[in-house]
Structure 1
């Protein structure tokens, strides 16, 4: 497949992608979806670690579904960065790029002449983004960072789980994903800065920083009170009722975010007497008396099936939701209407299903141009296109195991 240079708002920008596994590839896939030409650099023979995170495999390939979910709209080139020739070739390729994204250990790329300081000295317009567990500075900078470790260190696990039970991580690797999203935001801000000044800069993203920033209302609760928030399971720390309830055939989420809605709920379901009780009249009172609220509502909710409740709540404009499995998510009419599952044509025939890009734009937005690449699939084409190499030169590099 060819790259459509006119596709997306970031068309015309080239990204040198030295990332692997999750946080970095999340960032570079977003850039690729929005039109950037992403050159994914991988180790000869093995490639991105996540290719082997399987089963499950992408049907018809040797790659894990994990890899496929993070690497569309990229072209794969294999480079042996452990060799001096490979390092020199990487530096030549970077000269033709606008952005470099990497998630090596702090200082590792400097040994190859590919650190920010080395490249910035000769290519001051380059935007260089580093994604690590703990950032480029501070006492933990040299340490490796992994999602569950960062969820634990960053406080998320202390907030997640049932009261009195074990701390839990989330079901998806949120600190990796947050780091990738913040990296993309930082790169876009750096592009605007370069537009104004002509200079690139180093964007330093730490997973721990993004985890702490993502504590949001719970972090502010601690800063305001000096008290560690309790684990509340599926309940909301400052809004009640905003939680899971049992129904006649399963469970659902009831979300009542203000007093007017709670009053409407009570009137709609024969519970007007609750509004005569000072424990229920205001949200502040309900937070202080959350056990009484749960005890009052649970017998009511469990009397009818989930579908009945969803229909009745929608008629009263009150928030309610089923707790969907992924099968139900991907069959949901709203998800389907928003094209959140996309089929990308494969060069070998057929298609591969991937998750859709969530940013909608009124003009040109995300596109799906390239299937997740096979390892080194575009090596020859990229060396010819970007560096103008001839076929014999490429063959010699391969013979010397540089590519």
Structure 2
């Protein structure tokens, strides 16, 4: 996904350079370099180079601060984040765990206003908060969490999200309900970019394999109708609507 977007932006940058400078150029991009650059941009290379300890697996925990998933009384799973000072204060306040958190700070000598300390004590914090969530259904706290502006969400399957989230339907201008031949009808996204000068183009069905065979042979390969027909007759190329003539 990142490589695909870089290809587009790099070609546009080169085209803009040619437009302004009158100079064309080659643009090279390798998938491996994109992967390596992404690892670097995420801070993983710097982390490995500067820190003595290897970064371990942390499950759903938010690395470097506090964020964790919890199972609620109704069996649903939620994720809560305490990255910023505001997020952390709100989480402690809404769960009523201020005294327990203060006791944990006193016991360890670590100030949990520091996000790094919240990472160090994440297991202890999760132990304190886990009981609170286990005793409540999502509907018991969802409205209060939203009113407080906490950063949290319910884990949902894609089917659940499709059934519940209007952003995945025609209510979102990016989506159009479309029939894909051979598959069925479902919401399909167009471009996520909105331009003020042009309207967003609706998505179109994906072509069947070979749908543009004749177009490519004629417009790109510059073959005439006779040459194209011979390729079809010999079974070298096909299109979805082609029916081979029986052999003599």
- Is TM (by shorter chain) over 0.5? yes
| Larger relative contact order (CA 8 Å, sep ≥ 6) | 1
For structure 2, list consecutive stretches of 5 or more residues without a partner in the other structure.
238-248
Alignment correspondent of 2:242:
none
Cα distance change on mapping 1:324 and 1:225 into 2, 3 Å: same
Alignment correspondent of 2:69:
244
Conserved 8 A contact 2:178-2:187: yes
Once the two structures are superposed, the pairs formed by residues 52-201 of structure 1 within 5 Å of their partners are: 177-196=1-20, 197-201=22-26
Alignment correspondent of 1:371:
205
Alignment correspondent of 1:286:
118
How many residues of Structure 1 are paired with residues of Structure 2 in the alignment? 224
What secondary structure does 1:204 align onto?
coil
What secondary structure does 1:203 align onto?
coil
Conserved 8 A contact 1:345-1:351: yes
Residue 335 of structure 1 pairs with residue 182 of structure 2:
no
Given candidates 47, 52, 64, the residue that maps to 1:221 is: 47
Conserved 8 A contact 1:344-1:368: no
What secondary structure does 2:29 align onto?
strand
* Offset, 1:195: 3.0
TM-score (norm 2): 0.75
Conserved 8 A contact 2:179-2:186: no
Larger radius of gyration: 2
Cα distance change on mapping 1:234 and 1:349 into 2, 3 Å: closer
TM-score (norm 1): 0.49
What secondary structure does 2:176 align onto?
strand
2-side partners of 1:282 and 1:274: how far apart? 17
Residue 298 of structure 1 pairs with residue 127 of structure 2:
no
Alignment correspondent of 1:381:
215
2-side partners of 1:341 and 1:188: how far apart? 26
Given candidates 256, 270, 279, the residue that maps to 2:96 is: 270
Residue 204 of structure 1 pairs with residue 22 of structure 2:
no
Cα distance change on mapping 1:349 and 1:237 into 2, 3 Å: closer
2-side partners of 1:231 and 1:316: how far apart? 31
Alignment correspondent of 1:322:
154
Q: Write out per-residue CA displacement over residues 294-339 of structure 1, whole angstroms, 9 at most, x where no aligned residue.
A: 1111111111112333222111000111111111121212333335
Cα distance change on mapping 1:327 and 1:262 into 2, 3 Å: same
Cα distance change on mapping 1:311 and 1:214 into 2, 3 Å: farther
Alignment correspondent of 1:172:
none
* Offset, 1:232: 0.2
Conserved 8 A contact 1:266-1:274: no
2-side partners of 1:265 and 1:190: how far apart? 48
Conserved 8 A contact 2:65-2:117: no
Greater helix share, 1 or 2? 2
Q: What root-mean-square deviation, in Å, do the aligned CA atoms of Structure 1 and Structure 2 show?
A: 3.0
* Offset, 1:349: 11
Conserved 8 A contact 1:244-1:254: yes
